[in-house]
Amino acid sequence: MTYNVARTRSQKKPSTASRGIRSLSLAIVVPVGLTLTTIFWFGEGYPYKNLTRLFWIPPLWGLHLTSLSTTFLMGLSAWLVWAESGFHRTPMAIVMYLTQLGLGLAWNHIFFKTGPTQTGLAVSFGQLVTIFACSQMFSRINPISGDLVKLCLVWIWFLTSVNLYFVL
């Protein structure tokens, strides 16, 4: 009789693995969905398409694809930190993560809707600083997460230089 009661309780309670999969998918789907929405609404890039670009400046589809990839990696990194209770130990890490997410969404809107401006450059620089802070904080909590953020840092540095090129 006791065996059946214990078995029933374990069947009702979701396993740790399924909770982990749900939280991982949420940590990735929400930011990627927000980025996709921003690209859909503001990603036409008419000002960007009309600019004369050098060979090292990617086409519009390349910017969108890497923007989605960066958002995916940042979501995965944030989940790795969250899984180790890193946001409880270092609450500023989630503030920096959410700030860089907001700045990334704002940059997409500014850069693709109005074109490369000084405002876009300031937002891009702010995102660069917040991702650097995320990299430092995430590395202390989970080294793999910190390494993933470093990939995003390289990409945002490149975007900042593209924006700087067009502003100058």
pLDDT per residue of the chain (168 residues) written in tens, 0 to 9: 455 555 555 555 555 556 788 889 999 999 999 999 998 888 776 677 777 778 888 888 888 899 999 999 999 999 999 999 999 999 999 999 999 999 999 998 888 787 778 998 999 999 999 999 999 999 999 999 999 999 999 999 999 998 898 888
Residue 113: predicted pLDDT: 80
pLDDT the model gives residue 132: 97
The first and second tokens of residue 119, run together, are 């405002």
DSSP tag of 110:
I
- Structure confidence at residue 43 (pLDDT): 72
**Helix, strand, or coil here: 137?**
helix
CA 32 to chain centre: 8
13: left (phi over 0), alpha (psi -120 to 50) or beta: beta
* Cβ neighbours around 62 below 10 Å, total: 10
pLDDT at residue 3, rounded to an integer: 52
pTM flag (> 0.85): no
Alpha-carbon distance 161 to 106, whole Å? Answer: 17
Amino acid in the structure at residue 168: L
